[in-house]
């Protein structure tokens, strides 16, 4: 039974030397037969820092005569990467009730730890999506007010040509920002995206207008459009 269960099982004496173990644990240490571990300590198999940690746990259990259950501790895999064990240790008694060592089991929970970390990351992303949705919703409300006033200004007595052009540019910028917030809301709500055709020439023209005003009259900006009708 001991050699069949997937958990690693071991028992040690008062000096934390192995008295016995199952075959699964022996294989973890590079041996086919548990007899090769008898009389040895973790210092002969593990880095000193890790062996000291294991020894301290053994001594705590034996000194307190109390079990230490379901705790996690690090270990080094055969390929040198760090893994995690979930360990249980209980005091081992003789027939008179005296503590003569420690009995323990452990199992590799490295993959489980990785899955937990991925789950926590997914929860963070979900929380971020909810936050982004709230911000996008509020921002969209602001843009609705901006667009409403711009529409009113554009429909009223037309101002000077350059002012009218500036108002149109502001309105288009607000419209693009509104589209972006709708996309962000759709993403946060996990709605399917609806691909739509985009006029790249129109995008270049809009960006050129904005850049030209930023660069000023001393810098010439040349825009190259794709073949076909140039946007108005």
Tens digits of pLDDT across the chain (232 residues) = 888 888 999 999 999 999 999 999 998 888 989 999 999 999 998 889 889 999 999 999 999 999 999 998 888 766 677 888 999 999 999 999 999 999 999 998 888 888 887 888 877 777 766 766 666 666 777 777 677 767 766 676 665 666 677 677 777 777 777 777 766 666 656 555 567 777 888 878 877 776 776 677 788 888 888 886 655 5
pLDDT at 12: 97
Report the pLDDT value the prediction gives residue 19, as an integer from 0 to 100: 96
Q: How far is residue 229's CA from residue 232's CA, in Å, rounded to a whole number?
A: 9
Rounded Cα distance between 187 and 128, Å, is 11
pLDDT at position 103 = 97
Which residues, other chains included, contact 58 with Cβ-Cβ below 8 Å and sequence gap of 6+? 12, 16, 89, 102
Strand order in the sheet with 18-21: 18-21, 8-13, 99-108, 82-93, 68-76
Residue 173 phi/psi, 5° resolution? -65, -40
Half-sphere CA count of 176, side-chain side, radius 13 A:
11
Q: What region, left, alpha or beta, does residue 30 occupy, with left being phi > 0 and alpha being psi -120 to 50 degrees? A: left
Burial class (CB in 10 A: 0-12, 13-18, 19+), 59: middle
| pLDDT value for 193 | 55
Helix (H, G, I), strand (E, B), or coil: what is residue 6? coil
User: pTM above 0.75?
Assistant: no
At 162 the pLDDT is 60
Determine the pLDDT at residue 189: 60
């Amino acid at each position: 039974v001991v050699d069949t269960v997937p958990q690693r099982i071991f028992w040690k004496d008062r000096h934390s030397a192995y008295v016995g173990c199952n075959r699964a644990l022996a294989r973890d240490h590079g041996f086919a037969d548990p007899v090769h571990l008898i009389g040895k300590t973790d210092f002969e198999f593990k880095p000193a820092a890790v062996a000291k940690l294991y020894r301290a746990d053994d001594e705590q259990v034996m000194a307190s005569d109390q079990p230490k259950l379901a705790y996690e501790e690090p270990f080094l895999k055969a390929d040198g990467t760090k893994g995690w064990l979930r360990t249980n240790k209980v005091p081992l008694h003789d027939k008179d009730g005296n503590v003569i060592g420690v009995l323990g089991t452990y199992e590799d929970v490295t993959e489980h730890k990785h899955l937990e970390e991925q789950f926590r990351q997914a929860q963070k992303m979900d929380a971020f999506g909810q936050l982004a949705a709230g911000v996008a919703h509020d921002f969209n409300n602001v843009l609705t007010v901006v667009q409403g006033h711009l529409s009113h200004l554009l429909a009223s007595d037309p101002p000077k040509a350059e002012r009218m052009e500036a108002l149109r540019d502001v309105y288009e910028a607000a419209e693009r920002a509104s589209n972006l917030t709708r996309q962000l809301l759709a993403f946060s709500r996990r709605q399917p995206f609806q691909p739509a055709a985009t006029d790249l020439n129109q995008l270049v023209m809009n960006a050129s207008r904005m850049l030209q005003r930023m660069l000023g009259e001393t810098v010439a900006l040349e825009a190259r459009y794709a073949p076909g009708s140039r946007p108005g």
